[in-house]
Structure 1
Amino acid sequence: MHTVLVTRPTIVLVHSPLVGPSTWTGSAGPLRDKGFGVVVPALAAVVDGEPPFYHRIAETVAGQVENRPVVLVGHSGAGALLPAIADAVPGEVRAAVFVDAILPHPGEDWFTTAPPELGRRLESLAVEGRLPPWHEWFPPGALTAMFPDPETHRRFVAELPRVPLAYFAERAPEAERWPPPACGYVRLSEAYDAVADECERLGWPVHRVDANHLAMLTRPGFVAGLVARAVTELTGE
Structure 2
Amino acid sequence: MGAVTIVLVHSPFVGPGSWSAVGEELRRGGRSVAVPSLVDALTNPSPLHSALAGAVADAVPGPAILVVHSGAGPLVPAVVDLAPAQIENVIFVDATLPHPGRRWVDTVPAELAGQLTGRVGPDGLLPRWHEWFPPEAMAELVPAERARVEFCADVPRVPLRYLEEIAPGSDAWQDLRCGYVQLSAAYEDAAVEAGRAGWPVARVDGHHLSGVTDPAVVAAAIARMSDAL
Q: When the two structures are superposed, what TM-score results if normalisation uses the length of structure 2?
A: 0.93
Question: Do the aligned partners of 1:44 and 1:159 also contact (CA within 8 Å) in 2?
Answer: no
The alpha carbon displacement at 1:92 in A equals 2.5
For residue 178 of structure 1, report the CA deviation from its aligned partner. 1.6
How far apart, CA to CA, are the structure 1 residues paired with 2:2 and 2:84?
A: 20
Q: Give me the whole-angstrom Cα distance separating, in 2, the residues matched to 1:202 and 1:50.
A: 36
- 1:23 matched to 2:15: no
Q: Which amino acid aligns with 2:2?
A: L
Q: Which of 199, 209, 213 is equivalent to 1:214?
A: 209
CA contact (8 A) 1:95 1:181 kept: yes
Deviation (angstroms), 1:180: 4.1
CA distance in 2 between counterparts of 1:26 and 1:188 reads 16
Q: Which runs of 5+ in 1 are unaligned?
A: none
The aligned counterpart of 1:86 is 80
Structure 1 vs Structure 2: percent identity of aligned residues? 45
Q: 1:90: Cα distance to partner?
A: 6.6
- State the AA in 2 paired with 1:56: A
Aligned-partner Cα distance in 2 for 1:35–1:179: 28
AA at the equivalent of 1:57 = L
Q: Identify which of 163, 168, 186 aligns with 1:168.
A: 163
Matched, 1:12 2:7: yes
Q: What displacement does 1:176 show?
A: 5.9
Is 1:46–1:56's contact at 8 Å kept on the other side of the alignment? yes
Report runs of 4+ in structure 1 exceeding 6 Å deviation.
none
Give the equivalent residue in structure 1 for 2:179: 184
Secondary structure of 1:114's aligned partner: coil
Give the corresponding residue for 1:45. Answer: 40
Q: Partners of 1:36 and 1:81 in 2: how far apart?
A: 23
Aligned to 1:97: 91
Say whether the 8 Å CA contact 1:94–1:180 is kept in structure 2.
no
Q: Secondary structure at the match of 1:143?
A: helix
Supply the RMSD in Å over aligned alpha carbons: 1.6
